[in-house]
Amino acid sequence: MLTLEQSQRALAAAEAHAVAIGVPVNIAIVDAGVHLTAFARMDGAVLGAIDVALGKARTAALFRIPSESVWDYCKPAAPAPTLELSNGGLMAFPGGLPLTAADGTFLGAVGVSGGAPSQDREIAKAATQTL
Amino acid sequence: MLTLEQSQRALAAAEAHAVAIGVPVNIAIVDAGVHLTAFARMDGAVLGAIDVALGKARTAALFRIPSESVWDYCKPAAPAPTLELSNGGLMAFPGGLPLTAADGTFLGAVGVSGGAPSQDREIAKAATQTL
Amino acid sequence: MLTLEQSQRALAAAEAHAVAIGVPVNIAIVDAGVHLTAFARMDGAVLGAIDVALGKARTAALFRIPSESVWDYCKPAAPAPTLELSNGGLMAFPGGLPLTAADGTFLGAVGVSGGAPSQDREIAKAATQTL
Amino acid sequence: MLTLEQSQRALAAAEAHAVAIGVPVNIAIVDAGVHLTAFARMDGAVLGAIDVALGKARTAALFRIPSESVWDYCKPAAPAPTLELSNGGLMAFPGGLPLTAADGTFLGAVGVSGGAPSQDREIAKAATQTL
């Protein structure tokens, strides 16, 4: 069960990393039931990335995999084309990562958007390392 | 006219096959009017696959073909690109199959999601063989 | 954590009660995270009641109260008018009930629709008594 | 222009007040453009109140008035019945308040949900007093 304290710690770690690399992003945290627990939009992050951050967190929590792994299922010639249209639209690129407790329990997911996908991913990674 | 008894029999056959091959899935049954008659989420099936199972059943019932056959119409260079965006989003990959009576009457469809697409398809197949 | 076995037992108890009083209904079971675990539409239940049953289960799980208790908050002169427009539309009349374990743990909710609201409520009640 | 620092300060003040009165709530902050800047769900807040908190903040920011003031326009015999159906559904009861700078500049809004409407309103009030 993901607490607000854990969610805010994960969010703060992501924000600190984003500041360190100079990329303003949106950061969303959802619990194991895919419900929002915490969110922050850093000053200067584009508005379009709010929904993307929420979508990446949702995508990673719904399937319990990094958001970009969904693309392996739905990309051209992969076995599940159109999967990305499910669940109101998935975000199948880097920036969403599952959050897992030290004992391996699935806790939820973090979604980051605002930088380049690879930057979003490393910012999300910082969040995962706090639990 | 698909009855609840038929729907639950189809659902139970799918569930039994899923147990046999060790894959927790979501199973949805819809009638000829594309309305839900029965649903089951097996313990351990990912949350993201609920909507996918419903979508595969809907897709197979809407066009009265296996869900993956829709991809033949909308894949790159096929004659109906964007078809997958109709009807609130189609699921154009394996796991949705029409349900047909012994005399060929169309009864509805089953949708399965949670395993690899090929596993979902064989689990759905088990459901079709009960009618 | 609500299992499929518990969900199907609750659903079967509701169905048995509905048969006993001669009212065909739709029955939906959702878990504590408000995600569908089981559904059944009895033969003869009207199509419009599918979404109502799902909505009552969702409403009872979202607020952990009987669906009709939401009306106490949003009815004329009550303190929360328009609450019913939240969460994509709430169903604020009888037929949705929380499901609780013997030790008081919240497990999810059942939603029933197809009969008169008072009938839907007693059918839902039968489901709650199986856990 | 509402900063993340201001948003998190407002959110923390609301959370502190909610802790003080023992009511777990969801808290949402939106900017003058009605876009989310910060969100927190306190442990134990019901899931249904996430969307309500977001909706109250949205409602207060869209019209730059307390969320409950919208009810004065759309309540029975008021001049704008159905106004509550606009903008994807308004939340026209206490818990949403505009956020204003010391010089009167409109900055955005806070939305709180999880307690009784009067509690939600006083928690939201605590947020407004930080700017």
Tens digits of residue pLDDT in B85-97 = 999 999 999 999 9
Q: Which residue of D has its CA nearest to A45?
A: D37
- Whether B99 contacts B66, CB under 8 Å: no
Under DSSP, is residue D2 helix (H, G, I), strand (E, B) or coil? coil
**What total number of domains does chain D contain?**
1
| Mean confidence (pLDDT) of chain D | 97
CB pairs under 8 A between A and D: 44
The dihedral of CA C90, C93, C98, C99: what is its sign? negative
pLDDT score at C26: 98
Q: Find the residue in D nearest to C64 (Cα).
A: D46
In DSSP terms, A126 is beta-bridged to none
pLDDT confidence of residue D46:
96
pLDDT band of residue A76 (cuts 50, 70, 90) is confident
The CATH number linked to A16 is 3.30.450.150
Closest-CA distance, B103 to chain A, in angstroms, reads 32
SS (H, E, C) chain C: CCCHHHHHHHHHHHHHHHHHHCCCCEEEEEECCCCEEEEEECCCCCCHHHHHHHHHHHHHHHHCCCCCHHHHHHCCCCCCCCHHHCCCCCCCCCCEEEEECCCCCEEEEEEEECCCHHHHHHHHHHHHCCC
The residue among A3, A26, A43 with the most chain D CBs within 10 A of its CB, best to mutate, is: A43
> For B26-37, what is the mean pLDDT?
98
* Domain carrying residue B91: 4-128
pLDDT band at B45 (very low <50, low <70, confident <90, very high): very high
pLDDT score of B131 more than 90: no
Transcribe A21-85 into DSSP letters: HT---EEEEEETTS-EEEEEE-TT--THHHHHHHHHHHHHHHHTS-TTHHHHHHSTTSS-TTGGG
DSSP code of residue D15: H
- For residue D109, give the H/E element and its range: strand D106-113
Say if the Cβ atoms of A4 and D43 lie within 8 Å.
yes
pLDDT the model gives residue C65: 98
Q: In chain D, what is the greatest distance between 2 CA atoms, to the nearest angstrom?
A: 42
pLDDT at D93: 98
Contact between chains at A35 and D42 (C-beta distance less than 8 A):
no
Q: Would you state the pLDDT for residue A131? A: 87
Shortest Cα–Cα distance, B28 to chain A (Å): 15
B97-114 mean pLDDT: 97
As a whole number, mean pLDDT of residues A99-118 equals 97
Is residue D22 over pLDDT 90? yes
Name the residue facing D3 among A7, A43, A47 (closest C-beta).
A43
Q: What is the pLDDT of residue D129?
A: 96
Q: How far apart are CA B69 and CA B14, in angstroms?
A: 21
Kindly state the greatest CA–CA separation across chain A. Answer: 42
Q: From chain C, which residues contact B within 8 Å (Cβ)?
A: 3-4, 7-8, 33, 35-43, 47, 50
Closest residue of chain A to C31, computed from CA coordinates:
A33
Q: Residue C131: pLDDT above 90?
A: no
> What CA–CA distance (Å, rounded) separates B92 from C118?
42
Which chain C residue has the Cα nearest residue A34? C33
Contact yes or no for B43 and C8 at CB 8 A: no
The Cα D62–Cα D66 span in angstroms is 10
pLDDT at A40 over 90: yes
Q: Is the pLDDT of residue D131 over 90?
A: no
Which residue of D4, D42, D50 is in closest CB contact with A35? D50
Secondary structure (3-state) at B100: strand
Cα distances from B97 to residues B38, B53, B86, B101, B111, in angstroms, run 15, 11, 19, 13, 7
What is the pLDDT averaged over residues C4-27? 98
SS3 content of chain B, % helix, strand, coil (to 5): 45, 20, 35
- Which residues, in sequence order, are CB contacts of C103 under 8 Å at separation 6+? none
Q: What is the mean pLDDT of residues A31-56?
A: 98
- Mean pLDDT (whole number) for C94-114: 97
Neighbours of A103 (CB within 10 A): 5
Whether C70 shows a pLDDT value over 90: the answer reads yes
pLDDT range class, residue A122, cuts 50, 70, 90: very high
* Residue B47, pLDDT above cutoff 90: yes
Indicate yes or no: CB of A35 within 8 angstroms of CB of C33. yes
> A5, A11, A39: which to substitute to probe chain D, counting the most D Cβ within 10 Å?
A39
Look at C52 and A1; give whichever has higher pLDDT: C52
SS3 B105: coil
Residues 6+ apart with CB under 8 A from B86: none
What ipTM does the predicted assembly reach?
0.96
In this structure, are strands C36-41 and D106-113 parallel, antiparallel, or unpaired? unpaired
Interface test with B, best of C9, C37, C58, C107 (most B CBs within 10 A): C37
Confidence band of B128 (pLDDT split at 50, 70, 90):
very high
- The two tokens of residue D90 are 């308004």
Rounded average pLDDT over C49-65: 98
Residue C34 and residue D46: Cβ atoms within 8 Å? no
- CA atoms within 13 Å, Cβ hemisphere of A72: 8
Across the interface, whether the CB atoms of A38 and D40 are under 8 A apart is answered yes
